[in-house]
Structure 1
Amino acid sequence: MRESSMKRTRPWSMGMGIALALGLSGCAPLLLGGGAAVTGAAAERRGAMSVVDDAWIDAKLNTLFVRSESVKWGNVSFRVYRGKVLLMGTAETEAEVSEAVRLAQSVTGVKHVYNELKVQYVSAKDIAHDAWISAQVKARIFGDEHVRGLDIHVDTVNQVVYLTGLADSQAERQRAERLASITPGVKEVVSYIEVVPSDYPVSPTMPEQNPEPDTVSSDVL
């Protein structure tokens, strides 16, 4: 009787574990309920376990930044995708940038660190405007039938849009970049989207990539 009860609760526990990981991650939306979390994670081509691994890295790096006396946690943002960390945001000095990179590289499971940190000042008004831009870009991508929005992640810092995720083809990647670049308020698009054909549906069978970023300027402001 005891064994039967444990078997029934195991799927719930696994779902809640994934939900907790997703909730901790700054890279994934907060999903309510274990079943919804599993469904949401599985819907991404990187796979549920990759989502959980990325969320663990996200939580660990958040902790390191909060505890660091050299890195201002509120100024530095990041995105974790398939074990790769994209550092974004601002820093007061080059030393702060170097320390943020070092901390990211120190986390177990991190495969590569992309550094897009800039030594500059961004106001609260700028941050609010960046959030508005991200929302507009996401809406364009999700509303486009030629781009799988679940696999494309959007972040904006000082009107520069950063794209990460997976595309089925170079055409899909360029389509996502174009949609971002024509969004009002966007100065530039920096894309780290990986092109992985749908023949590789989920990790760990996907080939690993460390893509060089595509930079697309925008004349729509």
Structure 2
Amino acid sequence: MNLTKHPAGLILTAALLAATTLSGCAPLVLGGAVGGAFMVTDRRTSGAQVEDQGIELKAASRVREAMGERGHVNVTSYNRVALITGEVPSEADKLTVEQVVARTENVRSVVNELALMGNASMASRGSDIIVQAKVKATFVDARDLQANAFKVVVERGEVYLMGLVTEREATRAAELASTVSGVQKVIKVLHIISEEELARKQPAAPASSPK
């Protein structure tokens, strides 16, 4: 497994999985709504969540202006780290997209995972939506994992995990995602925190009422 370190504890790893158990990809819906309930359970600050939403919307718009109809590009931001996925026809286009996203306000760093190939088919993108839903459901069902700590992106059956998590959670989430039908590979684009940091981020238990 290759490991590339990025600023502020960000890690990017690829877990290659056996082809006999895997196969599948989903266009990312940019700028998803940030609801009150989600903000409560998300480990980012509310300000970071709003910044991430703004990054996704602005970057998507600027990429469209720069690229037009060339390529299929998605930008997902977590804690101001922008993950670029999808397909573009050339290395020059890949670099152009990266530069456009890097110049977007509030972006701290960029992880460019664009593939040099023709656009994924609609069938492939539809399959990715299904895989994404299955991975999220698997996290929800797991008793030892907080599902809302992870953002899941799927492209051509490759699952990207983003979040603010411990090494234990990162390993467990990758293991679970790798068991989902249709998953070809699991790539971790995660900010790793200590168990002590995680404990500080957990909401305090309500005080018991005096009897």
Normalised to the residue count of structure 1, the TM-score between the two structures is 0.72
Match of 1:145 in 2: 143
Match of 1:81 in 2: 78
Deviation at 1:38, TM superposition (A): 2.8
Specify which structure has the higher proportion of strand: 2
Deviation at 1:78, TM superposition (A): 1.7
Deviation at 1:27, TM superposition (A): 5.3
Match of 2:36 in 1: 38
For the residues of structure 1 that align with 2:114 and 2:39, how far apart are their CA atoms? 28
1:92 counterpart = 2:89:
yes
Deviation at 1:55, TM superposition (A): 1.0
1:193 counterpart = 2:190:
yes
Match of 2:128 in 1: 130
Match of 1:26 in 2: 30
What is the count of residue pairs matched by the alignment? 170
Match of 1:184 in 2: 181
Structure 1 pair 200/72, CA: closer, same or farther in 2 (3 Å)?
A: farther
The 3-state SS of whatever aligns with 1:184 is coil
Amino acid at match of 2:126: A
For the residues of structure 1 that align with 2:70 and 2:148, how far apart are their CA atoms? 27
Which 5+ residue runs of structure 2 have no aligned equivalent?
Answer: 1-28, 203-211
Match of 1:160 in 2: 158
1:101 counterpart = 2:98:
yes
**Aligned-residue CA RMSD (Å):** 1.9
The 3-state SS of whatever aligns with 2:201 is coil
Normalised to the residue count of structure 2, the TM-score between the two structures is 0.75
The 3-state SS of whatever aligns with 2:159 is strand
Match of 1:111 in 2: 108
The 3-state SS of whatever aligns with 2:123 is helix
Contact 1:127 1:157 in 2 (8 A): yes
The 3-state SS of whatever aligns with 1:192 is strand
Q: Aligned residues: percent identity? A: 23
Match of 1:210 in 2: none
For the residues of structure 2 that align with 1:65 and 1:72, how far apart are their CA atoms? 10
Match of 1:211 in 2: none
- The C-alpha deviation readout for 1:89-135, integer Å capped at 9, x for no partner, is 11111111011000011112110000100012311111111111111
Deviation at 1:170, TM superposition (A): 1.1
Higher relative contact order (CA 8 A, sep 6+): 2
Contact 1:71 1:100 in 2 (8 A): no
Amino acid at match of 1:198: L
